Chains A and B, each alone.
Chain A
Amino acid sequence: MSPAIIELKGVVKSFKSADGHARTVLEDVDFRLAEGEIVSLLGQSGSGKSTLLRIMAGLIGVDAGDVRYRDQPLYAPARGVGMVFQSFALFPWLTVQQNVELGLEARGIAPAERERRAEAAIKLIGLAGFEGALPRELSGGMRQRVGIARALVVEPEVLLMDEAFSALDVLTGERLRDDILELWSRREMPTKAILIVSHNIEEAVLMADRVLVFASDPGRVRFQLSVRLPRPRDPDSPEVRELIDEVYALMTAGAARVTGRAAEEPVRRSIAERLPEADISRMEGLLERLAGEPFDGRADLPKLAEDTELTDDELLPLAQALSLLQLARIADGDLHLAPLGRRYVEGDHTLRQELFGQQLLSHVPLAAHIRHSLEQEPSGALPEEPFLQLLSESLAAEHAERVLRTAIEWGRYGEVYEYDYNTGVIHLPEGEANGVKDEEADS
């Protein structure tokens, strides 16, 4: 076994939310990054994978557990770690050259030496000639190249990449990814291990020796997958496709399991369950695509992603939402159109909304609870705060907020209840109100 560079044992991390409750983001995570490997962390947003990366970078401390870098406890960022950021994190007032020199300057390296090494790194990453440019003059892809050069110039043992390609368009991202893999295989960079946080399944499978899939609430490693294919890997080869399918199946396993069982024994869903953040018109679009040619009611998720040009973290919540509302079913990385989904697609606008509302009430406990509570009010209206409070007892504040937003949006569409943005009040749809009819100020 190659020597470990970073080792985490039993790491627990929680954040304090606004109301003072602690939320566990990572629970008992063990992880080992060894020399000579590329590891990908996959998981939905909020699953704690970025937190884990920051713990390894020494940016965040842990509540419990042990973090070691080269067998030494890690309290703050170590010199041997370079990091590439999602938003590039370049200093806009420094030129490309100055940005790349930043880490060297901080270490007190003499100007001449600094210049030499920075120029070498800039050339390595293919930016020669742009030394004097300011970041704002560069395109996104070139900016990220600067970010990578800045990380490589300090000759890090470990390169941490936090969604480094997700702010770039697909083509640029692929180019950059291939360039890095090439540098890695030709041993042109001093880096001994790379950790990539990503939400792009294909990217993870193409790059990594190991793919770790994270589960959320609280974050923990759900599954680990070794990829032993030689690089460069062809994304269209059957081996790679199979692996991608496998990861899709694993990542949607949670949702599939629940709906799979729902037919026989009703699963008691929690009110404070995290709802997939899915936009309704996208859900409808996906459903229509699924019902039409060439899928005909059954689609391979990676194919669907390609066909709809959605990224994985856009597609997966949609699929999960459809399966939650039982308009579709996820099984083995495939999305199947449910009979109800077929009716939905064929129906007109009114029928669709009706179906949506009906499914929402029977399968989303939060929506049902909101509706039930409203019906008991003489005015048919309630402020959103109590619901938010209920949610934030078991979810982090921002997630609670987002879950309620989603529930409100869905409820509005299904005409289950309405919401007044100005006052933050949820109320029964007009004409359904129990007592006094609600006054609509702005309509």
Chain B
Amino acid sequence: MSDKQFFFPRQVVESGGNRWDWALLPLVLALLMLLAYGASQMARPYQVGEVLPLTLDPRYLPYYLLRTTLRMFLALGASLLFACAFAALAAKVRAAERVLVPLLDILQSIPILGFLSITVTGFIALFPGNLFGVECAAIFAIFTSQAWNMAFSLYQSLRTVPGELHEAARVFQLSGWQRFWRLELPFAMPSLLWNMMMSMSGGWFFVVASEAISVSNQNIKLPGVGSYIALAIEARDLGAIAWAIAGMLVGIVLYDQLFFRPLLAWADKFRFEEGSNEATPDSWLLTWVRRTERLRAIGLALVRLLERSFAVFRLHHDGTSIRARPAPANPMVSRVWDAAIAAAVLFAAWRLTVFIHAEVGWAEVLHVVVLALYTLIRVLVLIALAALVWVPIGIWIGMNPVWAGRLQAVAQFLAAFPANLMFPVAVVFIVRWKLNPDIWLSPLMVLGTQWYLLFNVIAGASTVPTELRYAAHNLGLTGWLKWKRYLLPAVFPSFVTGAITASGGSWNASIVAEYVTWGDTTLEAKGLGSYIAHMTAVGDFPRIALGIGVMCVFVMALNHFVWRRLYRLAEDRMHF
């Protein structure tokens, strides 16, 4: 009697994947479907003047959330490409570096709103009759709030690749392409990811401004959470605001769990310094994906594709070939380049002078500088106040290891949460109690940025060496002496790091925080932020440019004269 054997067709047997594949399949399919749906909605036919349907019905909120998130991720992708191109160019071509780095420094301190009104017409003209033009403008606006710090971090990382690794790459004949993927990008990965997360939070902050676009006296409100909030503010609907906050929370949790956490956990292997006892981040999704067969195979195939490109873009000659001979440096070329840069700067300065003289007048400049001083005072006072509150709390939390881990995550989350959603509540209070907006609007500026202080101080306090703690305890340090000699110096470096971020964020936030509307009530605090916001509302381009220019100068001066010095002081003297 013969065994009756039953054979499955080959495709069925081998296409199986394992149970993890099957469990993950619905999630993958749902994501793909949502992406496709969102994308198709973005490229609808559209004429300027057409009113896009928008409702405060919370049932539409998931859809708006999808649209907004899609925009943010597109912008993030664009920022990533920009960062790679920028960093590669600036780190490898000296002539480019001398222009690009200062340029980025300036771009970094230009508030996002400034870009919107300039670019939107161009984008609409690029895709006539299609909504995608307006979408592009919104994406570009988000891009401008995300790209700079990513580009800067990548550039910094490329510049600080350890010398011996670089030499190893050269000795073992890696080409530029191979070096980028094998050495430079992996080395830069942790800080790049960190900056991507920061960028994402930064993007949320301006989501209202980027989705409600005004062009040629038209108000275009793209479907999204930002427009939803704008509509809720116009309609004075606190309930809708609450819904928006809830929706945003869900959105932040979702992309944190589905996107950043897995990435962070994966990127842990790129950590360069060893022996740091930071807990390795873990992600359920990454563990899951790593257990699948099919998805992993797809991932590995992509990696292999990249590796195959290494064989194509490789060095075909070694150091004994005439092609490896470095071109002799030509002093003429660099001199001409210097002259060109100097000429361009002079020309720009001249144009600026003429422009200010003709369009706004010097009195206005003086007025704006005074306004900027108001905002400067606000930023400094508020950061000092926030420090008074959060430094002791942060130290206390950081010294209690049980709490440190958990609360640090909470603080990071709070930093990611767009504080401007709370503004309407503040307006209601100020109007109710008839408070002075010049003073009471100010705290809104640090509402979102104070968390950087908190979680940096927590991080700093939790890394104080145990021996030092014992020593302080043993010496019986108490009271003010304990703070002066032990605790404050111990957290100073991380405090400065936090304060730099908080200060930059507060300047940017001043545009939103000094000029708050709630229905037809508009509260205004005297300052540079409200000036820019006001001029944007009116559409006075020269004055927007002036305001932004002055803000740039202030932010850069503050960075240069205060923060960078403190940072150097901290690096020099107060580290373990």
CB–CB B320/A134 < 8 A: no
Is A380's beta carbon under 8 Å from chain B? no
CB–CB A59/B171 < 8 A: yes
A61 and B175 CA atoms in complex are apart in Å by 19
A136 and B280 CA atoms in complex are apart in Å by 14
A-binding segment of B306-314, B412-420, B493-501: B306-314
Is B432's beta carbon under 8 Å from chain A? no
Is B290's beta carbon under 8 Å from chain A? no
CB–CB B171/A83 < 8 A: yes
Interface secondary structure of A, over-half rule: loop
In the assembled complex, the CB of A1 is this many whole angstroms from the nearest CB of chain B, namely 22
CB–CB B314/A108 < 8 A: yes
CB–CB B272/A92 < 8 A: yes
In the assembled complex, the CB of A63 is this many whole angstroms from the nearest CB of chain B, namely 12
> Max chain A CB contacts within 10 Å: which of B172, B186, B272, B311?
B172
Bin the interface of chain A by size. 35 or more
A127 and B425 CA atoms in complex are apart in Å by 65
CB–CB B324/A75 < 8 A: yes
CB–CB A150/B319 < 8 A: no
Which of A69, A74, A77, A91 lies in contact with B173, CB distance below 8 A?
Answer: A77
Contacts of B182 in A (CB 8 A): 91, 94, 102
> Max chain A CB contacts within 10 Å: which of B168, B310, B322, B325?
B168
Is A79's beta carbon under 8 Å from chain B? yes
Which of A69, A72, A89, A422 lies in contact with B168, CB distance below 8 A?
Answer: A89
Is A184's beta carbon under 8 Å from chain B? no
A169 and B318 CA atoms in complex are apart in Å by 36
Is A390's beta carbon under 8 Å from chain B? no
CB–CB B274/A91 < 8 A: no
In the assembled complex, the CB of A335 is this many whole angstroms from the nearest CB of chain B, namely 35
List A77-99 residues whose CB lies under 8 Å from chain B. 77-79, 81-83, 85-87, 89, 91-94
CB–CB A81/B171 < 8 A: yes
A317 and B319 CA atoms in complex are apart in Å by 38
Contacts of B310 in A (CB 8 A): 105-106, 108
CB–CB B318/A76 < 8 A: yes
A74 and B171 CA atoms in complex are apart in Å by 13
> Max chain A CB contacts within 10 Å: which of B171, B310, B326?
B171
CB–CB B270/A93 < 8 A: yes
Is B178's beta carbon under 8 Å from chain A? yes
Contacts of B175 in A (CB 8 A): 106
CB–CB B186/A76 < 8 A: no
Is A215's beta carbon under 8 Å from chain B? no
Which of B173, B272, B324, B325 lies in contact with A107, CB distance below 8 A?
Answer: B173
In the assembled complex, the CB of A331 is this many whole angstroms from the nearest CB of chain B, namely 39
Name the CB-closest residue of B to A92: B272
CB–CB B320/A72 < 8 A: yes
CB–CB A103/B173 < 8 A: yes
Contacts of B315 in A (CB 8 A): 106
> Max chain B CB contacts within 10 Å: which of A57, A89, A150?
A89
Given A81-B171, A103-B172: A91 and B319 within 8 A (CB)?
A: no
CB–CB B320/A83 < 8 A: no
List A418-441 residues whose CB lies under 8 Å from chain B. 421-422
Which of A58, A72, A87 lies in contact with B164, CB distance below 8 A?
Answer: A87
In the assembled complex, the CB of B560 is this many whole angstroms from the nearest CB of chain A, namely 21
Contacts of B162 in A (CB 8 A): 87, 89
CB–CB B320/A78 < 8 A: yes
Contacts of B269 in A (CB 8 A): 92-93, 134
A244 and B308 CA atoms in complex are apart in Å by 52
A94 and B311 CA atoms in complex are apart in Å by 18
In the assembled complex, the CB of A432 is this many whole angstroms from the nearest CB of chain B, namely 27
Contacts of B322 in A (CB 8 A): 75
Is A132's beta carbon under 8 Å from chain B? no
Is B165's beta carbon under 8 Å from chain A? yes
CB–CB A150/B172 < 8 A: yes
List A134-154 residues whose CB lies under 8 Å from chain B. 134, 136, 150, 154
CB–CB A82/B171 < 8 A: yes
Name the CB-closest residue of B to A107: B173
CB–CB B164/A74 < 8 A: no
In the assembled complex, the CB of B187 is this many whole angstroms from the nearest CB of chain A, namely 8
Is B167's beta carbon under 8 Å from chain A? yes
In the assembled complex, the CB of B175 is this many whole angstroms from the nearest CB of chain A, namely 7
Is A73's beta carbon under 8 Å from chain B? yes
Contacts of B568 in A (CB 8 A): none
A116 and B61 CA atoms in complex are apart in Å by 57
Contacts of B183 in A (CB 8 A): 91
Contacts of B321 in A (CB 8 A): 75
Is B271's beta carbon under 8 Å from chain A? yes
Contacts of A342 in B (CB 8 A): none
A27 and B465 CA atoms in complex are apart in Å by 47
Give a binary string over A398-425; 1 marks a CB under 8 Å from any B CB, 0 the rest. 0000000000000000000000011000
Contacts of B168 in A (CB 8 A): 83, 85, 89, 91
A92 and B274 CA atoms in complex are apart in Å by 9
A422 and B311 CA atoms in complex are apart in Å by 54
Is A175's beta carbon under 8 Å from chain B? no
A70 and B319 CA atoms in complex are apart in Å by 12
Q: Pick the 7 closest A-B CB pairs, nearest first.
A: A76-B319, A103-B172, A76-B324, A89-B164, A72-B320, A108-B311, A58-B319
Q: What are 29 inter-chain pairs, A to B, with CB distance below 8 A?
A: A57-B167, A58-B171, A59-B167, A69-B319, A70-B320, A73-B325, A74-B319, A74-B320, A75-B319, A75-B321, A77-B170, A77-B171, A77-B172, A77-B173, A78-B318, A78-B319, A83-B171, A85-B164, A85-B168, A87-B164, A89-B164, A89-B168, A91-B186, A92-B270, A92-B272, A103-B173, A106-B174, A106-B310, A106-B314
Known pairs A91-B168, A421-B573. 15 more at Cβ < 8 A? Answer: A58-B171, A61-B326, A73-B325, A74-B319, A83-B171, A89-B167, A89-B168, A94-B182, A102-B174, A103-B173, A105-B307, A106-B175, A106-B178, A134-B269, A154-B172
